[in-house]
Every structure is written in C-alpha cells, then in structure tokens.
C-alpha cells in the first residue's frame, strides 16, 4: 500500500472515530501492524499523555505514555501477536494521564489477518479504575455524574446548596445485623431521601453510607434545613414500619454555594466532608452549616498537626521543657519544679500549649512527646539534685498516655536510668471523667504507689467526684489552680472554702499546693491559710533548664511580710 493510500484509509477511520467519540466513554483504536501506524479516538488526548490521535513508530511513541514498569508487558503481548501465538489482545496495564499520573486501563483488540499474517489490531480501551456513574445497590447516580453536572455548569456561578448526608453508626449496623441488612438500610435510606426531595434536586451516593443532595436552583439555607428535617421524618416512618428492628439517625453537612469562589467537585467534597464530620463530632443526628471561619480553624489545626508530627519524627525538634519553681512555705525555699511543655516552629513561631496539647492528644502524639517530657524532667532533676539533694520534679500526664500506653513502665525505666530516688518524681493528673471506673487507670495509680512514684491531683476543686478521689487514689498532694485562687482572694466565701480545703487535706495527711500567686498581696493572703507549697508568677515564670538553674539553684529565699 502506498503512503497516499495509507493516509487516505486512516483519515476515513479517524473520521469514523471523530463521529463516534462523543457517543461513548471508551476509546476506540486501530493499529496497522504492517505499516506501523496507530489511530485512536480524539477524546483520549484530553485524558492521556498521547502525542496525537494518529502517529507512526508506534512502540516508541507508546513508551512516552505507558507506565514505565508496564511497557515490557505491552511489548511482550504485541510480540506474541506478531508470532501468531495470540489472536486476541487482552491486557490490563497503566497509561499516564496528562499530569503524569498512572491510570489503569483495559485494552482489548481483535487481530485481523491478511495472507495469514497479522495486519490490524482493532479494539477498545476503557478505564477500569474509573468510578461508576450509577450505583446499582441504591439505584442512585454516583460521583462521576455529579462531576459532570458541575462541569456542565462551570461557565456560570452556581447558586443553591449541597447537603452531604451520612448514616450515624452505620458500621455498627453492619457488625450487628450483617452486610446484607446494611445494604437494605442503604436502599431504604436512599428511598426515604428521594421521597422528600424536590424534582429539581438530585441525589447521589458518594461513598459507603454517604449521600449528596445538590440543589442548583438558588434555594435558601432555610430550605436546606427544612429538607433535612423532612428526611428525618421519612426515616422515622421507615423505622416505625420496620417495627424498630433497627434504629438509626442521619447527620448532615450543609454548604451554601452562592458565595463560594471555588465550586469545583474536589473543593465541594472537601467542604461537605468537613461539614458532615463536624455535625457528627457535635453529637450526631443534626446538621452543621459550613462557615469559612470554622473551616479556617480546622485547616490551621490540620496544618499544625502535620507540623507537630514532623517535629516528633525529627527527634522532637521545636519542643522544649520549661520549669516553674514551687516554693516550700515551711522551709521557705524552692523545693521542686513543675515541668511544662513548650513548642516553637521555625515558620509559625511560638505556639500556645492550649493550642498544641489538644492536638497532641487527638493525634496520639502525646504518647511519644509525653515520654520525651518525662525524660527531660528526670534529667533536669538529676542535675539539680547535685546542689539540692531532695529536689523534686513534677510532670503532667494526659489520660491518653495512661489509658493507651504502658507509661508506668516507661516512667520507672527513666527514673532508674538516671539513678533517682523514686519519690523524686511526682505525676500530676487532672481530675477528669476519663478516670471514672476505669480499671487501667486504677492499676496505673496502684502501680505508682507500689513503685514509690508520687501522685498529685491537679486543678483540684474544678473537676468532679473530687473527694471520693482522695480515698480511692490516696494522692500525695492536691493542687489548686489560679482560677480558684483568684476567686478565694476576691470573695470571702470562696476564701473560707479554700481555707477549709487546706485544713481538710492536712487532716488526712495530704500536702496542699496553691497555684497562681502573682502578687505580694496575694501571697500574704494565701500564706494565712498555711498551705504546704505555693506556685505562681510571683516567684517565677516557667523557663528553660539553664535559666532555672541560674535563678533558683542555689536556693531562692521566700520573702513575705512579717
């Protein structure tokens, strides 16, 4: 065949591909194996890193857009066709998209022979990883359909709202009743939602137990709220008709579209996922209305979480242990120090403990960071005891450390490594509902006593079940925070209450430490109660160990009015 004849034939094939391309999602192709020429549907160029809809030198050009580790597999298949070992091409491998990312495809083709030699390979390519446009289980459209709808409307700003709905406790439904029952719940939930949405509103099943309702008709947020309530009523009817065999609720995240600059599918899914998760975190069986301020705070927290995780992985870079002096009123000297955690990032700067410690707890990073803090405290105590033999340090433990790690053995190992007496370390625990009737917590406190590690209840008086803890846990000391101290100084009734707490602690052989003393006047008034220890800015702010040693070792004498 002459070059002109080949060109004319391929142009006719290309015209056919151009005609059929808008009618299908897949990509047709023909490979003239004798003339080494390739032709593919033009819509493939929008998706893949293909040089052109027609090209020669086929294998060399395929090397540009076939995923490198899969290229040999393709060559082997083509070689078997040329050697008459295969009459049908059926291969699953990866092509590169226009951003260079791998996309799984299934390439099938029929070999056409001429004079018993393979002449053409004609077939179709489809993406085997592409999401379905519809869901057979729920009977709803899938995410691909929503993507297309947003794409069709991308030339104009969309007004209206999107609601993302999730079934509360769906995992438990599957676990308790089985997967098939869970599928029935999904179907019925879809039917309930469809029964109350308006004709212009569309329902999609996005992932697992989550659905999305789109309303691009400019309706108000109040309409979205009413729709959520109608869904709840429809679900209640189904649950009643099902004789309460299973009871469940749904939560929803509502995003108003009118003022959103970025109305892409990726951004809308990000915002609706945040909104739905927020509704669930706030107690479930409710909706949450997206706000930019809330999302900005969430993004900041997420960024800080990454920063903290990176810092932990880089050997706690940016973390530092600070120490605040605690004064012994009887001996009028610095007797111990509370260890406090600080964090500074090169880009963000100094971060407040009130901001980063909850993130450490939520992420579980408090476990490795907590061990690091304990070691810094024990190391500092060992250094100071060379001058003040009976010096003691205290460290705060989170409920996460106690309940989700073997922190007791870590504490003992660290204390022994630095050859400290066990009672040189005091563990501070804040009163919390997390401790209530928890066997692991009780065993932890018993372990502290058995190994001679001291225990203090921090923020005493601000938690709950306070006095019962005194008998169950047998702490060495109680600590009263500044909130209580300020009230006691300014209010006679509160002052009398605090004084009686001090007397009560002494009557059962407990030490009392009052925190938050900042002025000479406050010191004088607190001293009249005769607590054992006082802590506060009046004596010194938290500082790094070198500064602490310089200021308080040797001892600083407590000055008070005669």
* Tens of pLDDT, residues 352-386: 999 999 999 999 999 999 999 999 999 999 999 99
Same fold for the pair 3-127 and 134-290: no
**Distance separating alpha carbons of residues 302 and 273, to the nearest angstrom:** 14
The whole-number pLDDT of residue 434 equals 52
Is the pLDDT score of 558 beyond 50?
A: no
Q: Are the CB atoms for 337 and 548 separated by under 8 Å? A: yes
Report which of residues 98 and 2 the model is more confident about.
98
Asked if CATH classification 3.30.450.20 holds for the domain at 3-127, the reply, yes or no, is yes
Residue-wise pLDDT tens digits, 474-484:
789 999 888 88
Averaged pLDDT score across all residues of the chain: 89
The whole-number pLDDT of residue 561 equals 43
Domain coordinates in residue numbering, the chain:
3-127, 134-290, 314-552
The whole-number pLDDT of residue 560 equals 45
Is the pLDDT score of 435 beyond 80?
A: no
Is the pLDDT score of 559 beyond 60?
A: no
**Distance separating alpha carbons of residues 537 and 228, to the nearest angstrom:** 52
Single pTM value for the model: 0.70
3-state SS record for 61-97: HHHHHECHHHHHHHHHHHHHHHCCCCCEEEEEEEEEE
Residue-wise pLDDT tens digits, 19-52:
655 656 789 999 999 999 999 988 888 899 999 9
Highest-scoring range by mean pLDDT, 115-119, 141-145, 284-288, 555-559: 284-288
Start-to-end CA span in the chain (Å): 116
Highest-scoring range by mean pLDDT, 84-88, 146-150, 315-319, 550-554: 315-319
* Cβ contacts of 464 within 8 Å, gap of 6 or more: 431, 433
Q: DSSP strand E in 79-159: where?
A: 88-96, 102-114, 117-127, 134-135, 140-141
Q: Could you please state the CATH topology (level 3) that the domain comprising 314-552 is classified under.
A: TIM Barrel (3.20.20)
Structure tokens at 324: 């605040």
| Over residues 323-343, mean pLDDT | 93
| Over residues 160-176, mean pLDDT | 94
Q: Collapsing DSSP states into helix, strand and coil, what is residue 525? A: helix
The whole-number pLDDT of residue 116 equals 86
Listed range (55-59, 147-151, 431-435, 456-460) with the worst mean pLDDT: 431-435
b/e per residue 361-383 (b: at least 16 CB within 10 A) = bebebbbebbbbbbbbbbbbbbb
**Distance separating alpha carbons of residues 561 and 134, to the nearest angstrom:** 81
b/e per residue 5-15 (b: at least 16 CB within 10 A) = eeeebbeebbe
82 prior amide bond cis, ω within 30: no
The whole-number pLDDT of residue 439 equals 83
The whole-number pLDDT of residue 562 equals 36
Is the pLDDT score of 172 beyond 50?
A: yes
Q: Are the CB atoms for 538 and 519 separated by under 8 Å? A: yes
The whole-number pLDDT of residue 94 equals 92
Confidence of residue 3 (pLDDT cuts 50, 70, 90): low
Q: Are the CB atoms for 41 and 53 separated by under 8 Å? A: yes
Is the pLDDT score of 138 beyond 80?
A: no
Is the pLDDT score of 486 beyond 90?
A: no
Listed range (73-82, 280-289, 425-434, 544-553) with the worst mean pLDDT: 425-434
Structure tokens at 387: 């001058």
Is the pLDDT score of 228 beyond 90?
A: yes
Q: Could you tell me which of 151, 49, 35, 34 has the C-alpha nearest to residue 105?
A: 49
Is the pLDDT score of 464 beyond 70?
A: no
Of how many residues is the chain composed? 562
**Distance separating alpha carbons of residues 460 and 481, to the nearest angstrom:** 7
Other CB atoms within 10 A of residue 539 CB: 20
Asked if CATH classification 3.30.230.80 holds for the domain at 134-290, the reply, yes or no, is no
Query: Which residues are 90's β-sheet partners?
Result: 108
| Over residues 409-414, mean pLDDT | 96
Residue whose tokens read 């400019």: 218
């Amino acid at each position: 065949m002459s070059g002109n004849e080949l060109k004319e034939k391929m142009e006719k094939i290309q015209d056919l591909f151009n005609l059929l391309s808008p009618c299908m999602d897949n990509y047709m192709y023909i490979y003239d194996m004798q003339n080494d020429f390739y032709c593919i549907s033009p819509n493939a160029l929008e998706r893949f890193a293909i040089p052109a809809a027609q090209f020669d030198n086929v294998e060399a050009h395929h090397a540009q857009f076939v995923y490198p580790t899969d290229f040999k597999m393709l060559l082997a298949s083509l070689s078997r066709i040329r050697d008459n070992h295969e009459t049908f091409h059926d291969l699953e491998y990866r092509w590169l998209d226009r951003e260079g990312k791998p996309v799984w495809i299934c390439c099938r083709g029929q070999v056409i022979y001429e004079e018993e030699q393979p002449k053409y390979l004609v077939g179709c390519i489809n993406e085997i990883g592409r999401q379905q446009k519809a869901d057979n289980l729920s009977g709803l459209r899938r995410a691909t359909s929503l993507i297309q709808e947003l794409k069709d409307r991308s030339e104009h700003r969309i007004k209206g709202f999107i609601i993302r709905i999730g079934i509360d406790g769906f995992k438990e439904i599957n676990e308790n009743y089985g997967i098939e029952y869970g599928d029935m719940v999904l179907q019925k939930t879809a039917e309930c939602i469809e029964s109350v949405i308006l004709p212009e509103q569309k329902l999609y099943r996005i992932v697992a137990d989550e659905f999305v309702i789109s309303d691009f008709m400019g309706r108000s947020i109040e309409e979205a709220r009413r729709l959520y309530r109608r869904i709840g009523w429809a679900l209640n009817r189904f649950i009643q008709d099902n004789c309460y065999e299973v009871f469940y609720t749904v939560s929803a995240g509502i995003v108003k579209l009118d003022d959103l600059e970025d109305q892409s599918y990726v951004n809308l899914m990000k915002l609706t996922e945040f909104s739905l998760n927020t509704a669930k975190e706030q107690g479930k069986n409710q909706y949450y209305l997206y706000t930019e301020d809330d999302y900005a705070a969430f993004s900041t927290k997420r960024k800080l979480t990454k920063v903290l995780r990176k810092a932990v992985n880089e050997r706690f870079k940016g973390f530092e242990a600070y120490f605040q002096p605690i004064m012994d009123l009887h001996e009028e000297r610095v007797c111990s120090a509370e260890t406090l955690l600080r964090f500074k990032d090169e880009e963000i700067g100094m971060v407040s403990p009130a901001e980063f410690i909850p993130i450490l707890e939520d992420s579980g990073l408090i476990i490795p960071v907590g061990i690091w803090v304990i070691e810094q405290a024990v190391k500092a105590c060992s250094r100071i005891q060379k001058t003040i033999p009976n010096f003691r340090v205290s460290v705060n433990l989170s409920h996460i450390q106690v309940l989700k790690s073997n922190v007791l053995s870590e504490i003992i190992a660290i204390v022994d490594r630095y050859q400290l007496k066990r009672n040189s370390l005091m563990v501070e625990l804040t009163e919390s509902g997390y401790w209530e009737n928890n066997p692991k917590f009780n065993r932890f406190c018993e372990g502290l006593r058995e190994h001679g590690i001291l225990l203090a209840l921090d923020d005493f008086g601000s938690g709950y079940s306070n006095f019962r803890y005194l008998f169950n846990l047998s702490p060495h000391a109680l600590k009263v925070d500044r909130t209580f101290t300020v009230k006691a100084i300014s209010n006679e009734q509160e002052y009398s209450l605090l004084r009686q707490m001090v007397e009560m602690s002494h009557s059962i052989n407990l030490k009392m430490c009052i925190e938050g003393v900042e002025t000479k006047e406050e010191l004088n008034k607190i001293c009249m109660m005769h607590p054992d220890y006082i802590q506060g800015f009046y004596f010194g702010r938290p500082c790094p160990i070198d500064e602490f040693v310089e200021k308080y070792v040797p001892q600083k004498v407590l000055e008070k009015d005669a």
